[in-house]
Amino acid sequence: MKLNEKGSTLIIVLLTIIVFTVLGTALMGNVIGENKRVNATESNVQARYLAKDGLTYFEKDFKRYIDNTDPALLNFTQFFDQYRDWVVIGDPWSDSKPEEVKIKARLADSYMVEVYSQGKAGSSDKMLTGHYKLSLDVDIDKSTYELADFTKEGTAAVDFADSGLVNLDLAILELSLINLTGSDKRFYLVPDDEVIGVNLLPHLLSFSIGNGDRFEAMENNWIIATRQGEFLGVELLKYDKYALLSVNVLELRDKEDTNVIINGSFLKSELLGIRYYGYEDIDFEKLAVLGNAVIQQDRVGTYGISRDPDPFRRFSFKEGLYVNKSLVIGGVQGSNGPASKLEDYSKLMLRGNMVTMENLLITDVDLTVGDSLENEATLKPEDYVTNLYVHGDANIKNACVKLKNEKYDFRLFAKGKAVIENNTVTGGCDTLKGLIYAENGIEIKTNGLPMTIIGGLVGDVKVDHPEMLTIITDPKYLQKVKHSNVKLVRKGQTIE
């Protein structure tokens, strides 16, 4: 019995040792596992913080670039190109330094910015994507002041009311975008040299009457379109048709709006009281209109006859166009009603900076931004950019807006709201190349059809059918724009 008791005691001791060994091994495993989990959690957290540091680094680098660069020399393409591929911030990962941050970024649709930041700590990797909106303010007022400056010696105020009345039957004038005030709501033609007269101020103007250039007065001088009246209580017109001025037209107001239509027409002949008109392109030096202005091609003829026979009509504004009320480019003409096909559109080629103190409407027009080959030979790089500055709302509808070639740029800046409507009248006009900026938001009406904007949209964008809109952002359109307060606005983060 004693031998058996000794044997059982040995077995109990061995079992006890085995139990404690198993428990100790399990406990050690749990301790080691917990330690690994703690280390992994710490690595993950550290990797995530490193990724967040990468976003902070990018934000500060962007701010440094904006703060240290002349606004006129900002090149967003160049800045984002340096982050096209992964850029390691600081030292790369190594056994002796098991931490790394690398980032890359891209400028996406509607000037959204996506920044990818990868943090690596030990064996842990974390990817953090920052979503930003590129925000900026465009100085429309400064550009307006420059376009309203008519202080050049030899500025002429021309009485456009003497040029003859045009009875415009334009449905567009019924829209709220166009504000016709005063008792005289008519539109007047741009007077040709014969209408102005060759005997007035011959030292200032030279004319070629006959088959030559009919608009040398407009092409060689800064012209203010007005009528006989008073500015600021001082009689303006010392002559029947114009007087020399040196003013900023922001200070000027006509008692009656002087509304002007620019279509290149001039009186060619008159027979038995019937007037026959010819048409020419006009290269304005600089023009101010103290009412509303309409730029169009005469597709129906003045007074029902003498329709413009040319494929398109071209106008350039070498030093700009100022409009004190609203500006219409294109427009429904005569009794045709809204254009139902491209052949009914005004066909225009325009170049030059323009400002309107109220609203802009581009409608029923096949518009090309460009100039003649002859003029191109004298253009400077900045002359290829056509900027439209709008102090009210801007509306583009039933219009084709395109560039003559890749040298030209089109930019529209509005203090109000911009509405861009897809052209459904005819095919081939579903693409707009240019930059649209609007302080009160941009509304895109695709009308359920595919639409493409190449250039970009700056502002809060609302789209009726987002799946039908393709935006191809081109940072070059932001270059040479007079902007300020450029910054990245955070729109959120995502973790991978």
Q: What pLDDT, on a 0 to 100 scale, did the predictor assign at position 249?
A: 86
Q: Which residues contact 300 (CB under 8 A, 6 or more apart)?
A: 307, 333, 334, 335, 336
Alpha-carbon distances of 204 from 220, 222, 341, rounded to whole Å = 9, 11, 45
Query: Cβ distance 262 to 331 under 8 Å?
Result: no
Q: What pLDDT, on a 0 to 100 scale, did the predictor assign at position 56?
A: 94
Q: What pLDDT, on a 0 to 100 scale, did the predictor assign at position 199?
A: 39
CA–CA distance, 155 with 170 (Å, rounded to integer)? 31
Within 52-190, strands assigned E span: 87-89, 99-107, 112-121, 124-138, 149-159, 165-166, 187-189
Q: Which residues contact 91 (CB under 8 A, 6 or more apart)?
A: 97, 100
CA–CA distance, 143 with 481 (Å, rounded to integer)? 10
Burial of 164 (0-12, 13-18, 19+ CB in 10 A): middle
Q: What pLDDT, on a 0 to 100 scale, did the predictor assign at position 334?
A: 58
pLDDT tens series, the chain, 496 aa = 455 555 677 677 667 777 667 676 766 666 555 555 545 567 788 888 889 999 999 999 999 999 998 877 788 888 999 999 999 998 887 877 888 999 999 988 778 899 999 999 888 888 999 999 888 888 899 899 999 998 877 678 887 876 665 655 555 555 556 777 777 778 888 988 877 764 344 434 444 444 457 888 899 888 888 875 444 333 443 434 455 567 788 877 667 788 899 999 887 766 666 667 789 999 999 999 989 999 999 877 765 567 888 999 999 999 999 999 999 998 776 555 556 666 678 899 999 999 999 999 998 889 999 999 999 999 998 899 999 999 999 999 888 899 999 999 999 999 999 999 998 776 668 889 999 999 999 999 999 999 999 988 888 899 999 999 999 888 778 776 777 788 899 988 888 7
Burial of 311 (0-12, 13-18, 19+ CB in 10 A): exposed
CA–CA distance, 170 with 338 (Å, rounded to integer)? 10
Q: What pLDDT, on a 0 to 100 scale, did the predictor assign at position 174?
A: 52
Q: What pLDDT, on a 0 to 100 scale, did the predictor assign at position 154?
A: 67
What b/e string do you get for 123-144 counting C-beta neighbours within 10 Å, with b at 16 or more? ebbbebbbbbbbebebbbeebb
Alpha-carbon distances of 115 from 20, 48, 218, 334, rounded to whole Å = 55, 15, 52, 54
Q: What pLDDT, on a 0 to 100 scale, did the predictor assign at position 145?
A: 92
Query: Cβ distance 425 to 341 under 8 Å?
Result: yes
Q: Which amino acid is at 403?
A: L
CA–CA distance, 279 with 180 (Å, rounded to integer)? 27
Query: Cβ distance 85 to 489 under 8 Å?
Result: no
Q: Sign of the CA dihedral 211, 216, 219, 225?
A: negative
Q: Which DSSP category does 476 fall into?
A: G
Q: Which amino acid is at 318?
A: K
Q: What pLDDT, on a 0 to 100 scale, did the predictor assign at position 70?
A: 83
Q: What pLDDT, on a 0 to 100 scale, did the predictor assign at position 41?
A: 62
Q: What pLDDT, on a 0 to 100 scale, did the predictor assign at position 76?
A: 85
Beta strands 222-226 and 230-231, pairing class: unpaired
